C-alpha cells in the first residue's frame, strides 16, 4: 500500500478521521515553524482549526477545548498544552 491508499482507508474507516487529520496538521504546522516557514505554519494551523470546529470535550485523551484555545492565538515560543 502506498501513502494515498492508506490515507483513503483511514478516511473511509475511521469516524474520527478529521480529528486525527487535524492533529497531524498541527504537528506539521509546528515543524514548518522550526524551518522558518511561517506561511506553511499559518496555512496548516488554519486547516487544523477548521477540522477541529465540530469537536469538543475529550477525545483520545486530548482536551479538545483547551487545544482549540491554545491554537487560536499561537505563541511560537510556547509549547501548546492540551
Q: Is residue 25 part of a domain?
A: no
Query: Tens-of-pLDDT digits for all 82 residues of the chain?
Result: 777 787 777 777 777 889 999 999 999 999 998 999 999 999 999 999 999 999 999 998 999 999 999 998 887 677 776 6
Long-range CB contacts (within 8 A, 24+) of 51-55: 51/18, 51/19, 51/21, 51/22, 51/25, 52/19, 52/22, 54/18, 55/19, 55/22
- Judge whether 47 lies within some domain: yes
Angle at 69 between CA 56 and CA 35, to 5 degrees: 115
Is there a domain that residue 59 lies in?
yes
Does residue 71 sit within a domain?
yes
Tally of domains within the chain: 1
Alpha-helical (H) ranges within 35-75 are: 38-52, 64-72
Question: Is residue 23 included in any domain, yes or no?
Answer: no
Per-residue confidence (pLDDT) for residue 64, from 0 to 100: 96
In a domain, 56, yes or no: yes
- Asked if residue 2 belongs to a domain, the reply is no
The answer to whether residue 18 is domain-embedded is no
Cβ-Cβ contacts under 8 Å for 40 (sequence gap 6 or more)? 28, 29, 32
Residue 63 belongs to domain spanning: 30-75
Amino acid at each position: 500500500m502506498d501513502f494515498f491508499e492508506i490515507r483513503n482507508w483511514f478516511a473511509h474507516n475511521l469516524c474520527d478521521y478529521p480529528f486525527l487529520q487535524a492533529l497531524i496538521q498541527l504537528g506539521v504546522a509546528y515543524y514548518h515553524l522550526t524551518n522558518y516557514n511561517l506561511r506553511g505554519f499559518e496555512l496548516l494551523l488554519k486547516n487544523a482549526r477548521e477540522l477541529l470546529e465540530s469537536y469538543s470535550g475529550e477525545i483520545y485523551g486530548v482536551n479538545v477545548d483547551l487545544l482549540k484555545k491554545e491554537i487560536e492565538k499561537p505563541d511560537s515560543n510556547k509549547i501548546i498544552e492540551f
